[in-house]
Amino acid sequence: MSPSVNALVLALATQALSVPTTSAPHQQTIQWRSYPDVEAELHAAFPGFNFPHPFECSSLSVPLGYTDPASEPLDLSLIKVNATKEPVLGSVLWNPGGPGGTGFENLAVQSEDLLKTLGGQYNIVSWDPRGMGKTIPFDCKFGQNGHQRRDVAALWSGNLTEYFLDNGWSQAKDYADTCYKAQNTTGRFIGTAFVARDMVEIIDALGEDGLLRYWGLSYGSQLGAIFMAMFPDRVERVLIDAVVNPHDYQIGHWGNYLVDADKTLLAFLEECAKNKERCALAQFINQTTAVDLLSTINAVLEPLGQDATTNIKARTAYVEAKAAIFSGLYFPIT
């Protein structure tokens, strides 16, 4: 989504204190401890990185399929960093978004910022939601299932628009079929509604009040919203951050992410023009208004865009230049 709509929405569900929390007789309680092999794995994944806070892990067994009473179990790997201030007010479940973001690794890496942002009095707990990382990673095993790679020579030798009009649909079908085959035993258990059910299992097993405290970014805002819709009486407090448009997300379009991109670019160029001594771009092209800066950028991009459907070099340059601009708008460095 556009960073200009990086809104912070706080949803408070009122919860009568007298509501008893039901607990299943077989309820598990999470036993946290340090796992040297998991720590070694994380250190290997982030060589030289100094993890800011110690973390502990645990494994929780949940049903692979919630709609099947005889379902096989699924082990969720959980990670937790302790609150740094007394009194401890409970645990917050955290999801970094994606939807392919690993909560497990991200919590270990970002614990300092997360703890501080929440004020230090909450433990933070995370996990890899179904479909990624340690939990049924969604691996389509391309190359092993008869999946055909695109013919690169054909891709670049003709008119790309025509190439995609002629081949795009069949290639997308091939891609989907390959993923379906590779995931044919577990694919149907991957989805946000089951992730929300996993969260119920987690908050029950935390042995606190059985209510959700949650912070989710981006896809995590979708997850938080779905949890609240499914289990409104299980919510203590939910923070949805960097909010996605749920309709746009659900239909797989993600076009809303670009709605304000041009405005954001123009706002950046306005700041750039005002602070020329701190803006390398304005100095480089020696322009003093946002509109002049924008027309200079467009004057470079337009001819590349025109050639991009038929010329591989122009296309690569065009796509890279636009990706660099988009990435700057999506992840602004302050």
Ligand X SMILES: *[C@@H]1O[C@H](CO)[C@@H](O)[C@H](O)[C@H]1NC(C)=O
Residues near ligand X (CB under 6 A) are 54, 56, 82, 159, 161-162, 181, 184-185, 286, 309-310
Tokens in use for 173? Answer: 């079908």
Q: Least distance (Å) from ligand X to the CB of residue 78?
A: 14
Tell the residue number behind the tokens 């992410």, with chain if given: 257
Q: Is the peptide bond preceding residue 99 cis, with omega within 30 degrees of 0?
A: yes
Q: How far is the CB of 306 from ligand X (least distance, A)?
A: 8
Task: For residues 77 and 198, give the distance between their C-alpha atoms in angstroms, rounded to a whole number.
Answer: 11
Q: Which is nearer to ligand X, 121 or 310 (CB)?
A: 310
- The three-point CA angle 110-114-120 to 5° equals 130
CA distances from 32 to 77, 192, 228, 233 (A): 11, 26, 27, 27
Q: Which lies closer to ligand X via its Cβ, residue 284 or residue 331? A: 284
First vs last C-alpha separation in the chain: 17
> Closest separation between CB of residue 257 and ligand X, Å?
26
Tell the smallest beta-carbon distance from residue 63 to ligand X (Å).
18
Q: Which is nearer to ligand X, 91 or 264 (CB)?
A: 91
Q: Starting from the edge strand earliest in sequence, which strands make up the sheet with 212-217, in order?
A: 8-11, 235-241, 212-217, 90-95, 122-127, 73-81, 55-63
- For residue 71, how many C-alpha atoms fall within 13 Å in the half-sphere facing its CB? 16
Q: How far is the CB of 283 from ligand X (least distance, A)?
A: 8
Based on CB atoms, which residue is closest to ligand X, 50 or 286? 286
Tell me how crowded residue 229 is: count the other CB atoms within 10 A of its CB.
11
**Min separation Cβ 300 and ligand X, Å:** 18
* CB closer to ligand X, 67 vs 161: 161
ω before 87 within 30° of 0 (cis)? Answer: yes
Nearer to ligand X, 286 or 334 (CB): 286
